[in-house]
Structure 1
Amino acid sequence: MLFLNKTDWSAIRICASFLIGRGHRNILLVAVLIYCFSETAHAMLRSTADTAATGFVVQTAQPGYLSLVKDGVPLPMLVDPQDHRGVLRAFDNLKKDFVRVTGNSSHQKGSGQSKIIIGTYGRSALIDSLVRKGLLDSKELAGKREKFVMTVVKQPLQGVESALVIAGSDKRGTIYGIYELSAQIGVSPWYYWADVPVRKASQLYVKPGVYTQGEPKVRYRGIFLNDEAPALSGWSKATFGGFNADFYEKVFELLLRLKANYLWPAMWGSAFYDDDPKNGPLADEMGIVMGTSHHEPMARAQAEWKRYGKGSSWDYAKNKAGLQDFWRGGMDRARTWESIITIAMRGDGDEPMSEKENVGLLEQIVRDQRRLIASVTGRPAAETPQLWALYKEVQDYYDKGMRVPDDVTLLLCDDNWGNVRKLPELEAKPRKGGYGIYYHFDYVGAPRNAKWINVSQIQRVWEQMNLTYRHGVDRIWIVNVGDLKPMEFPISFFLDMAWDPDRFNAGNLMAYTYDWCRQQFGEAYAAEAAGMINRYAKYNHRVTPELLNDKTFSLIHYNELDSVVNDYKTLAMEASRLHYLLPDSLKDAFDQLVAFPINACANLYEMYHAKAMNDYCYERNDRRANDWADRVKACFRRDSLFTEHYNHSIAKGKWVHMMDQVRIGYSSWNEPAKAIMPNVRYLSEPVAAPAAKVFMETDGYIAMEAASYSAASSAPGVEWTEIPDLGKTVSAMTTLPPTVSLGNNTALEYKIRVKEKRQAKVIALFSPTLNFNGNRGLRYAISIDGGPETLVNFNGHYKGELGQWQARRIIESVSLHNLLPGDHTLKIRFLDQGIVLQRLLIDLGGLKPSYLGPRESAALNSRN
């Protein structure tokens, strides 16, 4: 039994007030049920969380534990002043983190018997002396990449009884170890970028043993700040004066705390190296590998061409000398810094090159660029990391036979909507430069921009990136994150997965969400916050806010529009309840990471529902049309108030301009100059309106979730795997691992019952996986009652075009079958890996248009 105290009842009253304002009936009952459900969900999710995530720093002493903080005073810390400057900077940040946690700095010259010793193997005399004494194993560090080891050692130095030692194999390894300790003592990587409060502590202890996260599985892991106007550009100008070293210091620190190492900087009218000459040296000092975007070759920004470009045009056939001079300047500037050089070229402004600029010319451009690289650096071009981005039409050049030297990384790309376009064949010969992936959380372009808020489900990100990694793509993972905020959660997931893709599977993604929320909000609120983040990402992945309108969901069929609006209303009410219960210290972070995206999107759904009802009632001379028109106006006004709150109230106005992105009023792929309220109509003289499951056919259709199969078969080594919450309704089914042949009998079966002799249209709904397998397409076979199979290739024709199936985030594949009355078994057999099935709809003449389709049909009995 659940007992509710005074605080609980106060929270329930807040929920009730929220619902009253949105037209819910039975207010108190709904509020109590949701409150109780959230408490139950909290306990259930907490029980499934990964206990290993609790780490090696604790607040309760046990025999053998090292006291890290005693009575609010941290241990003294030592570092060799000759270590890398980036290590020394991170060391200073660690000292500041201890002050944030304890309120005190360590007594560096005190007589304590224990210390914290930090350094890089081969660079720090302190660490090298511990290796010589046999207190550290050199085999754990020598020749390793970006690895750290953290352990407690006895008598490391004269007069020192014991020490916590953080030793890195190289500069970034040490830095990662430093920031891992920061996270363990209670400083979230998002302490600045999301105002996550530091966990205060007066006593901290280190468990005995050796702690390491090994080497990263993906070599270069990073983000692309893109499409950054008006939000990030406005905020950076107001806060720092622009995209200068003060701004990038915050970005670099965040990346290092997230164990990333790679950045494509903001470039809409900006030039990283040119806007502030301190930017490049700062990145190199802190340990960030710099690159430029897929269409900015040779370490130069597009904006620099507009400033300094010589000659007639951005056309190598006409302006070879001018472009080479321009590129030489970029290489000369970056030659001593750690960089990945983008080679080849696209048209100016991220446009396709003209058809006259063919494969032969591009190959000549690459040869000339590599000669220039060798000339400027004074060493073979192969010793400078380079990438060639197969973005949009550039992939066509590759498919037509264009090749680059083997040491160049081939940067494969998604289709801008999170669907991987091309992957190496499983049996492909290894490349010295390997393969990378350029992925998108943010996009500007047709069929419509996706810039405002997070629409990326980590379930989908995992499924696509797992597929990518299993195909050998492990040199570069970079993701377009737009303004960085509000993509905090998927950024963390993407970079954590890039460090160790093997850590994740379809069954532990919700536990990851819980652990992430525990780091931001603490144990008491983690489960509820995790559930909210998971649900709003699922709702937004169905259709982006920019694409959402009053006709997206059906007002008439399946109660669809009412259902999705109520789902978001309920979620917003839960967020408001939890916000009320949170201590004040957590509210700014919760607003940014949970409450704002939920409340703002719930309001959009309510506005478009009101618009649909206004049209419906107006066309029927129903006097309620005027009330719905007023509600549209109220929601439109409320949207501006949400923006005002984010920009000017959260964290005392710290995030001014960060929510300036327009999301209402789209009429084409690009955003309008300002928000435009949907058109509403008023009635001047209103008049009253006139008064093993056997799935059953109802109203001329049958709807089944993919996971509701009655039988499954698979080839040796292949497992059918349900991915919870992936897709538009409940879940999705796929075959794992994606590298094992499916053989001839990897299939799912479904039992159905139809009423009459009919021709049935079977609609299989798939996640929009592309024909990454060398353009062969993804195929399945479908049959009824063991009869002849219909073979279907649902994407073999795809050539890179963008269309409605991407905007709707679903592929609908249709086959026709003749059915007699009675029971039947439908069998769908997968012929290729990478297929992700969400639902099956059988249209027997009664299926009506809607966005999500009907709920799953009633079943007569359980599986047999």
Structure 2
Amino acid sequence: MRNKQKFFVCLMVALSSMSIKANSIVDGLGFGMPSYIQQTRSEGSFRIAGNGTAAKICVDPSDWKGVVRAANDLGDDVCKVSGLSAKVISTTSILSSSVIVGTIGKSKLIDRLVSEKKIDVSEIQGKWESFLIQTVDGNLVIAGSDKRGTIYGIYDVSEKIGVSPWYWWADVPVKKSEAIYVKSGRYIQPSPKVKYRGIFINDEEPSFGQWTRAKFGGFNSKMYSHMFELLLRLKANYLWPAMWSSAFNEDDPMNSVVADEYGIVMGTSHHEPMMRAHKEYTRRRKEVGPWDYIVNREGVDRFFQEGLERNKAYDNLITIGMRGDGDVAMGKGSDEENMATLDSVIKGQRELIHKVYGKDPAEVPQTWAIFTEVQRYYDKGFTVPDDVLLMFCDNNWGYIRRIGPAKEKERKGGMGLYYHIDMNGGPWNDRWINTTTIPKLREQFNLAYQTGIDDLWIVNVGDLKPKELPIDFIMRYAWNPDAIPANKVWDYMVNWAAGIFGERYAEEIADIVSKYSKYNLWRKPEVQATTVFSVVNHLEADRVISLWRDVATKAEALRDKIAPEAQDAYYQLVLYPAKASAGVAEIYLAAAKNNLYAEQGRVSANDYAGRVRELFEIDKKLGEYYNTSMANGKWKNMMKDVHLGYVKWSMPKKDSLPNLKEVVPEEFPKMGVAVEGCIKSWPGSDNKAILPTFDWLSNQSYYIDVFNRGNGSFRFKARANKSWVKLSQTKGTVEKDARIQVSIDWGKLPFGESEAMIEIVQKQVTVPVYVHVVKTELPKTQEPYWGNLANAEFSIPANQYNANIAGKNARWIVLPDLGRDEACMGIQPVTAPSAEPRNAPCLEYKVFLPKVGKTTVCLGILPTQDVYPQRGLRIAMGLDNNEPQIIDARKGFVDTFSEYNSKNLAKSKVLKPLPSRNRSIKLIATGQSRRNEVFDNLRWLDVEVEVLEPGMHTLKIFMIDPEIVLEKIVVNPDNKYPSYFGAPSVRHN
């Protein structure tokens, strides 16, 4: 699917005593701060462990509790790696040959080194979450600008010596080493580019809830301490706790205490204001009264105030605003009435913050979530005080709804993003497995970051497992998005795999996890259906089955090569998601074949029903192993989500199979015939059996299936009435199915259009199959081009252009592995101003169009949301030197740029979208259930162009708005042969 580029797994930089300033802290994986750990001694290096001893770790007992705790973790980590005990000493004296850990202004150890000018902390002092690592006078110093800065410095060392942040949550084995040295030097980590970076545990029943109750007795501090540690090891700092069946502060009063000690900033979800969990309200609904600020302000305010007073001593980011009871819209009035109520709510909440904290509310961190219906309020002008962080949201399925508005760029409170890699709710559930690709995450979060949404990223991660990979990427990417451009995503994947499983199989593992998540994004498991991929057109279902089987087979084969201590991690992170996802996908594909073949009367339909049931049992066993045996039962119940048999957005009560049909064979063998491109079968259909058109340029091969409708077997013969028709077999015995491949001997064929007939004969039954062939002059060009002689549908991958012409302020760039195929084309920079075609970036594609007249072109773009509603989301297309047509992805069509008034869309000429007959890629052979651009992860824009002369033409695609991402172009979409992906791409010359 992709031309792999090989990148260095780790960039080794020779260091002297010079200062090294890191660009990011996606450390230990080849990005940002260079690795300073080595296994051999060098001049001026510091020995952490070796020669039978480990260095002492010194920490001031008056430093932050979280720092002292992390220092002890470092001691444990050194022991895990080297087998040598690294003693942690609480002291204010600097001991020789020791690791000195501390926070500027909080540690006497660090402050003494500063005062004695042994270390220079000017680059980090007073900064947010920054740290310095330096070898000084035979010691190793880890100094942080603040509590978390120091903790991050400690865990930076831990990861680089061989302890993964996922050592507990994914059972990643520690990398053993007899000796650990830090190269001589001074290493500075600047502050993160995104201030608050965290996760939201949500949709946590049945899996996470049953797991934590079985293992820890509930949602308590024993469990959360592991989560806090994971966040800190990932250099994250923020958490929205589980809330479906739990109340963080009440279920275990130590939860908030431990969070604060660890150094985690706590918040509450978008519909849980003022540090109160929703369950806290439902448990005392009668006491508080109605969740209605109009009729029960006194009761609601008292409830809010209690939450603030309980948590004011801790580090919080307070969610303000108010939604309805249970994650629904607030109020039953109009938007204007609800906005007036919301205004009263926020004013009341600010008064309570002033009262409880005893200071200006502007000095207390707050955020307001612009989620679902609240987006309408914001778009209508509703706002909150300037010091409140505005938290924009995605569409629940991973596409952000707004870029950072220009009017908010200087906002004191800043802007943040609430993003889903897990969803329970509309448009549909997306819970069970990881369906989010790293290229998609990079594209969407880059769009957010570059437009100023960089103060908070909170990610709905569901049960946390099995979303380890996207969590890892987002938290690392948040530290410095500039460190991982689109062409470094593959580096990240390889380095992620190497960091967990070692370098030997890193590329193979990266390929497997990239593919299973990519294929899941074609059609997420919960929205699978038997009507998605075409069984009869372009061999689509067969190709998809083959791809899924290939990734599952590779994952299974690699399992035996993985070290025994890494087997549990491999099952969780690679094998289970790949194999289980492949199984679910094939269940629906095999069921689709069963349904179609049963309609045709094939006895082999029963084999596909059997395959579906076999896969269903495999799925059960895969989950049972995860839930009972893996890691000695550590993750009991964690994989409990129902993921098969969705008929609406919400989770079914149990896994179930799609509808299957059984064929009762006729008493005696009986021939049936089916042809590629048609769901009908013969004898039995009034239509003629016609193969799709063959053309000389494309040189296709099409199939004829000869199948049995009865018991026993039969013999058949096949003969063509023209010598230029080639058949892969002319006779055979059929017990269930036989396939004849039909191709053309072009050397025997005259120019022009020709017809032929193939007869399939069994005793007295003859089925004629008709052949239509086009052989005309081939285009005379040396350039690569697209098209065919039959004026049939053809597809062009966006990244396979003939020319890429930069615009005045932007250019098209390749976004590797994004979308359904090998790459998409996006704009750099995404903050470029909108452009007219004459000065816009342009992609050119050479196409052969054999007929004059109107031709439809479908542009497949990522379903980017209405990120800039006042403007729309526009792209332009033109043929040759004709004036380009502008298409607004959100509003329709605009004829030409000269007629487009960017300040007043209503005055522009908006063309009615073309009828659905053009959207062949969105149709399927046997139905259209569950189809939309969100589920398909693609939006199709249809344009009609006038072809004035047959022959070679230049198709031109212009950027108008910079957020557009182009994935595919389909010319002459043909609803006679509908499919999900469209005709396979074939480039000529």
TM-score, normalised with respect to structure 1: 0.91
Query: What does residue 12 of structure 1 align with?
Result: none
Query: What does residue 555 of structure 2 align with?
Result: 575
Instruction: Give how far 1:354 is off.
Output: 2.6
Matched, 1:125 2:108: yes
User: Which one has the largest radius of gyration?
Assistant: 2
Query: What does residue 281 of structure 1 align with?
Result: 257
Query: What does residue 729 of structure 1 align with?
Result: 821
Task: Tell me if structure 2 keeps the 8 A contact 1:265–1:272.
Answer: yes
Instruction: Give how far 1:763 is off.
Output: 0.3
Q: Distance in 2 between matches of 1:335 and 1:260?
A: 21
Which stretches in structure 1 are left out of the alignment for 5+ residues? 1-36, 155-161
Counterpart residue type for residue 103 of structure 2: T
Instruction: Give how far 1:107 is off.
Output: 5.4
Query: What does residue 119 of structure 2 align with?
Result: 136
Which of 940, 944, 947 pairs up with 1:812? 940
Q: Distance in 1 between matches of 2:870 and 2:636?
A: 46
Task: Tell me if structure 1 keeps the 8 A contact 2:516–2:582.
Answer: no
Task: Tell me if structure 2 keeps the 8 A contact 1:760–1:844.
Answer: no
Q: Distance in 1 between matches of 2:841 and 2:307?
A: 53
Q: Distance in 1 between matches of 2:373 and 2:407?
A: 25
**3-state SS, counterpart of residue 944 of structure 2:** strand
1:157-172 aligned within 5 A: 162-172=138-148
Matched, 1:761 2:826: no
Moved more, 747-756 or 304-313: 304-313
Higher fraction of helix: 1
Q: Distance in 1 between matches of 2:265 and 2:101?
A: 23
Q: Distance in 2 between matches of 1:850 and 1:761?
A: 17
Query: What does residue 971 of structure 2 align with?
Result: 842
1:767–1:726 distance in 2 versus 1, CA, 3 Å: same
1:477-492 aligned within 5 A: 477-492=457-472
1:311–1:83 distance in 2 versus 1, CA, 3 Å: closer
Task: Tell me if structure 2 keeps the 8 A contact 1:153–1:165.
Answer: yes
Q: Distance in 2 between matches of 1:108 and 1:260?
A: 25
Task: Tell me if structure 1 keeps the 8 A contact 2:847–2:955.
Answer: yes
Matched, 1:709 2:801: yes
Q: Distance in 2 between matches of 1:234 and 1:396?
A: 37
Moved more, 73-82 or 58-67: 58-67
Residues 587-616 of structure 1, C-alpha deviation per residue, up to 9 Å, x if partnerless?
110110001000101111222222112112
Counterpart residue type for residue 208 of structure 1: S
Instruction: Give how far 1:311 is off.
Output: 4.7
Moved more, 754-763 or 410-419: 754-763
Which of 583, 589, 598 pairs up with 2:578? 598
Residues 105-140 of structure 1, C-alpha deviation per residue, up to 9 Å, x if partnerless?
135699995111111110111111100111111313
1:558–1:48 distance in 2 versus 1, CA, 3 Å: farther
Moved more, 378-387 or 101-110: 101-110
Task: Tell me if structure 2 keeps the 8 A contact 1:50–1:511.
Answer: no
**3-state SS, counterpart of residue 563 of structure 1:** helix
Which of 531, 535, 539 pairs up with 1:559? 539
Q: Distance in 2 between matches of 1:844 and 1:625?
A: 30
Q: Distance in 2 between matches of 1:847 and 1:103?
A: 68
Query: What does residue 402 of structure 1 align with?
Result: 382
Query: What does residue 620 of structure 2 align with?
Result: 640
**3-state SS, counterpart of residue 545 of structure 2:** helix
Matched, 1:696 2:782: no
Higher fraction of strand: 2
Residues 664-692 of structure 1, C-alpha deviation per residue, up to 9 Å, x if partnerless?
01011111010012222222234544224
1:375-774 aligned within 5 A: 375-426=355-406, 428-686=408-666, 687-690=669-672, 691=706, 692-697=783-788, 700-741=792-833, 743=835, 744-774=839-869
Between the two proteins, the alignment pairs up a number of residues equal to 811
Query: What does residue 63 of structure 2 align with?
Result: 83
1:639–1:746 distance in 2 versus 1, CA, 3 Å: same
Moved more, 64-73 or 521-530: 64-73
Task: Tell me if structure 2 keeps the 8 A contact 1:221–1:262.
Answer: yes
**3-state SS, counterpart of residue 465 of structure 1:** helix
Which stretches in structure 2 are left out of the alignment for 5+ residues? 14-29, 673-705, 707-782, 894-929
1:261-300 aligned within 5 A: 261-300=237-276
1:620–1:133 distance in 2 versus 1, CA, 3 Å: same
Q: Distance in 2 between matches of 1:77 and 1:104?
A: 13
1:512–1:433 distance in 2 versus 1, CA, 3 Å: same
**3-state SS, counterpart of residue 49 of structure 2:** strand
Task: Tell me if structure 2 keeps the 8 A contact 1:780–1:792.
Answer: yes
TM-score, normalised with respect to structure 2: 0.80
Instruction: Give how far 1:711 is off.
Output: 1.7
**3-state SS, counterpart of residue 759 of structure 1:** strand
Counterpart residue type for residue 778 of structure 1: L
1:526–1:188 distance in 2 versus 1, CA, 3 Å: same
Residues 514-554 of structure 1, C-alpha deviation per residue, up to 9 Å, x if partnerless?
11111111122212111111111111111111111222111
Residues 209-242 of structure 1, C-alpha deviation per residue, up to 9 Å, x if partnerless?
1123211111110000011111111111111011
1:298–1:443 distance in 2 versus 1, CA, 3 Å: same
Moved more, 98-107 or 825-834: 98-107
Q: Distance in 2 between matches of 1:335 and 1:673?
A: 41
Counterpart residue type for residue 832 of structure 2: V
Which of 302, 305, 326 pairs up with 1:325? 302
Instruction: Give how far 1:847 is off.
Output: 6.3
Instruction: Give how far 1:100 is off.
Output: 1.1
Instruction: Give how far 1:557 is off.
Output: 0.9
Moved more, 419-428 or 406-415: 419-428
Q: Distance in 2 between matches of 1:843 and 1:104?
A: 69
Deviating 4+ runs (over 6 angstroms) = 108-112
Structure scoring higher RCO (CA < 8 A, sep ≥ 6) equals: 1
Instruction: Give how far 1:760 is off.
Output: 1.1
1:427–1:277 distance in 2 versus 1, CA, 3 Å: closer
Task: Tell me if structure 2 keeps the 8 A contact 1:458–1:509.
Answer: yes
1:844–1:469 distance in 2 versus 1, CA, 3 Å: closer
Counterpart residue type for residue 968 of structure 2: R
**3-state SS, counterpart of residue 359 of structure 2:** coil
Q: Distance in 2 between matches of 1:68 and 1:420?
A: 45
Query: What does residue 787 of structure 1 align with?
Result: 882
Task: Tell me if structure 1 keeps the 8 A contact 2:288–2:303.
Answer: no
**3-state SS, counterpart of residue 610 of structure 2:** helix
Identity of aligned residues (%): 41
Q: Distance in 1 between matches of 2:52 and 2:823?
A: 48
Task: Tell me if structure 1 keeps the 8 A contact 2:808–2:841.
Answer: no
**3-state SS, counterpart of residue 806 of structure 1:** helix
Task: Tell me if structure 1 keeps the 8 A contact 2:75–2:88.
Answer: no
Task: Tell me if structure 2 keeps the 8 A contact 1:763–1:814.
Answer: yes
Instruction: Give how far 1:742 is off.
Output: 5.0
Instruction: Give how far 1:762 is off.
Output: 0.6
Task: Tell me if structure 1 keeps the 8 A contact 2:124–2:190.
Answer: no
**3-state SS, counterpart of residue 507 of structure 1:** helix
Instruction: Give how far 1:266 is off.
Output: 0.3
Task: Tell me if structure 1 keeps the 8 A contact 2:8–2:491.
Answer: no
